[in-house]
Amino acid sequence: MVSTAAPRVGVLALQGDVREHVRVLTDLGAEVTAVRRPAELAAIDGLVLPGGESSVIDKLSRAFGMREPVRDAIAAGMPVYGTCAGLILLADRITDGIAGQQTFGGLDVTVRRNAFGSQVDSFEVDLDVPALGEPPVHAVFIRAPLVEETGDGVERLAVLEDGRIVAVRQGALLGTSFHPEMTGEHRFHALFLDMVRDRGR
């Protein structure tokens, strides 16, 4: 029998655009928790890593005792969706991290931070994402990272016209360079919630 209960998901609430993700996930019918402590992580079935500053979230995750619990949850198969800085935090490798910067890892990709430049170099573009169907995804890139290399098990969900990779999926992990939560684009979050439901079956 398939459960009809609302998916229990969390947004890592150490820094970044937490409220925007909470709003989208709530609008999609999820039961959403702002996650700052290991006990809160243990009570959910899926986690969003928001945009923000990846090096700051990394440091705060260690200060709050969250680094190892999040790594363990990823290793145990918890569905996780990372946007922008969250994608960096999911990556196994960063090409231009600051000294001592660490990630949670789990996603077999190499990511370049701030690949598109500074805040003034932010841009918007419509992306074809076959996994989401029509219409195209209107994507906003703000100091965005770029996926430079992917491992064999990584699905490339979206690329720019020049072939650069900006959305990926590997098993229970989903990552986008851009911010769907800021444009009213809910399909990536809906896909994430489907991944959470699928794991619970």
The 3-class secondary structure across 27-88, one letter per residue, is: HCCCEEEEECCHHHHHCCCEEEECCCCHHHHHHHHHHCCCHHHHHHHHHCCCCEEEECHHHH
CA dist 39 and 89 (Å) reads 21
Of 124, 138, 179, 186, the active-site residue reads 179
| Mean pLDDT across the chain | 92
Q: What is the pLDDT of residue 57?
A: 95
Average pLDDT score over residue span 8-30: 96
- To the nearest 10°, the Cα dihedral for 49, 55, 57, 58? 90
Residues 6+ apart with CB under 8 A from 64: 14, 36, 37
pLDDT digits (tens, 9 = 90+) for 138-192: 998 888 899 999 999 999 999 999 999 999 999 999 999 999 998 889 999 999 9
Instruction: Kindly state the tokens that stand for 40.
Output: 């809160």
Q: What is the pTM of this model?
A: 0.94
Q: How confident is the model at residue 63 (pLDDT cuts 50, 70, 90)?
A: very high
Q: Is 148 a catalytic residue?
A: no
Buried b (16+ CB within 10 A) or exposed e, 5-26: eebebbbbbbbbbbebbbebbe
- Would you call 177 helix, strand, or coil by DSSP? coil
Q: Is 21 a catalytic residue?
A: no
Of 181, 185, 186, 189, the active-site residue reads 181
Q: What is the pLDDT of residue 118?
A: 59
Q: What is the pLDDT of residue 97?
A: 78
Q: Is 84 a catalytic residue?
A: yes
Average pLDDT score over residue span 57-81: 97
The 3-class secondary structure across 90-139, one letter per residue, is: HEEEECCCCCCCCCCCCEEEEEECCCCCCHHHCEEEEECCHHHCCCCEEE
Pairing assessment for the beta strands 91-94 and 80-83 based on DSSP bridges: unpaired
4 has pLDDT over 80: no
Buried b (16+ CB within 10 A) or exposed e, 63-72: ebebbebbbe
Average pLDDT score over residue span 189-196: 97
36 has pLDDT over 90: yes
Of 84, 138, 161, 189, the active-site residue reads 84
Q: What is the pLDDT of residue 98?
A: 82
Domain boundaries, the chain: 8-200
CA 80 to chain centre: 6
* 55 beta partners: none
- Would you call 162 helix, strand, or coil by DSSP? coil
pLDDT digits (tens, 9 = 90+) for 96-154: 878 888 999 999 999 998 776 655 567 889 999 999 999 999 998 888 899 999 999 99
Domain 8-200 has what CATH class? Answer: alpha beta
Q: What is the pLDDT of residue 2?
A: 45
CA 90 to chain centre: 7
CA dist 88 and 33 (Å) reads 22
